[in-house]
């Protein structure tokens, strides 16, 4: 986690994400790419569509305003000693975030969210959802403010599909980096029931060959996978939930087709996603 991208709209939620990113950057001697997507009307930035130089002063005004707000953010004490690259882009937010993460070879995106209010209310509209679904690097979604982002227990849900084992490897590496105990959990539901022996054998096969130090295996029964993940994380007082994504096919396809965005919304704790 040496290169961390933090998109911002200068909201409280974005600041919460930036504070967590700052703690990670200090811990791993990393740097932060602070990005603001300036979504101006196309006629202001395209001289072919607009009226050319006539619109330039208005576009420059918005750029200068963003730079001013950047300076206010970067001067915050919690960023002292961290190398911060501030960038303003004229772009659609979702596409711009993905492009900037690739351009700077970032290895983590940290984004703010309003949490239970729903993806329609999250950072820059629905862009957190789009980034979570499509980012090739892990995305850490932060709901609240954290004076100290120290994770002891990290819950990662699985269906034990061996084709998706590479996401387990990503979760293991992430847990090792943040020095957390990884709790691998299989949620047993009536619609996809396994006996205890079947579930345990499935999980043992899934982790075979991996470095399983500081990994604990669990089978948890609940009415739905979403409720199972949330209730299990709550029972451990876990500091972080991990899920896999299938890109444009939706969140965690292995969860009976889709686990719905509600898991990310309803978890009153950070969520990190890994692309399958």
Q: DSSP 3-state helix, strand, coil percentages of the chain (rounded to 5)?
A: 45, 20, 35
> Are the CB atoms for 181 and 175 separated by under 8 Å?
yes
Retrieve residue 14's tokens. Answer: 């974005």
At 256, which CATH number? 3.40.50.620
Identify whether 147 is part of a domain.
no
What's the structural domain count of the chain?
2
Last residue of a domain, one of 88, 121, 142: 142
> Are the CB atoms for 123 and 9 separated by under 8 Å?
yes
- Look-up: residue for tokens 């994504």? 245
Q: Is the dihedral of CA 11, 152, 177, 200 positive or negative?
A: negative
Beta-sheet strand order (sheet of 181-188): 83-89, 31-37, 3-7, 108-112, 139-142, 271-275, 240-245, 153-157, 181-188, 215-221
More confident residue, 123 or 243: 243
Residues 75 and 88: their CA atoms lie apart, in Å, by 17
Q: Judge whether residue 48 has pLDDT over 70.
A: no
Identify whether 191 is part of a domain.
yes
Last residue of a domain, one of 110, 142, 174: 142
Identify whether 259 is part of a domain.
yes
Residues 40 and 226: their CA atoms lie apart, in Å, by 38
Helices (H), ranges, 75-163: 93-103, 127-134
Q: Judge whether residue 29 has pLDDT over 90.
A: yes
Identify whether 109 is part of a domain.
yes
Domain that holds residue 91: 3-142
Buried b (16+ CB within 10 A) or exposed e, 201-240: ebbeebbeeeeeeebebbbbebebbbbbbbebbeebebbb
Identify whether 221 is part of a domain.
yes
Output the pTM of the full model.
0.85
> Are the CB atoms for 149 and 23 separated by under 8 Å?
yes
Q: Judge whether residue 55 has pLDDT over 60.
A: no
Q: Do 134 and 169 lie in a common domain?
A: no
pLDDT tens, 77-97?
A: 999 999 999 888 776 677 889
């Amino acid at each position: 986690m040496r290169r961390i991208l933090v998109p911002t709209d200068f909201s409280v939620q974005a600041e919460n994400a930036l504070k967590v990113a700052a703690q990670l950057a200090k811990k791993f001697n990393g740097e932060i790419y602070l990005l603001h997507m300036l979504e101006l009307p196309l006629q202001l930035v395209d001289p072919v569509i607009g009226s050319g130089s006539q619109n330039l002063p208005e576009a420059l005004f918005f750029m200068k305003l963003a730079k001013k707000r950047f300076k206010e953010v970067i001067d915050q004490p919690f960023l002292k000693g961290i190398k911060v690259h501030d960038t303003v882009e004229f772009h659609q937010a979702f596409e711009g975030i993905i492009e900037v993460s690739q351009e700077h070879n970032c290895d983590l995106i940290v984004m703010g969210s309003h949490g239970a209010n729903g993806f329609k209310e999250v950072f820059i509209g629905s862009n957190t959802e789009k980034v979570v679904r499509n980012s090739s690097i892990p995305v850490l979604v932060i709901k609240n403010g954290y004076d100290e982002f120290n994770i002891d227990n990290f819950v990662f849900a699985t269906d034990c599909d061996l084709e998706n084992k590479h996401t387990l490897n990503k979760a293991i590496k992430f847990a090792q980096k943040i020095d957390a105990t990884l709790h691998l959990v299989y949620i047993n539901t009536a619609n996809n029931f396994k006996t205890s022996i079947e579930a345990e054998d499935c999980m043992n096969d899934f982790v075979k060959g991996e470095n399983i130090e500081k990994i604990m295996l669990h089978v948890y029964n609940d009415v739905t996978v979403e409720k199972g993940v949330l209730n299990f994380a709550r029972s451990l007082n876990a500091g972080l939930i991990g899920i896999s994504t299938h890109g444009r096919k939706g969140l965690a396809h292995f969860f009976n087709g889709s686990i719905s965005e509600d898991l990310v919304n309803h978890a009153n704790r950070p969520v990190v996603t890994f692309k399958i």
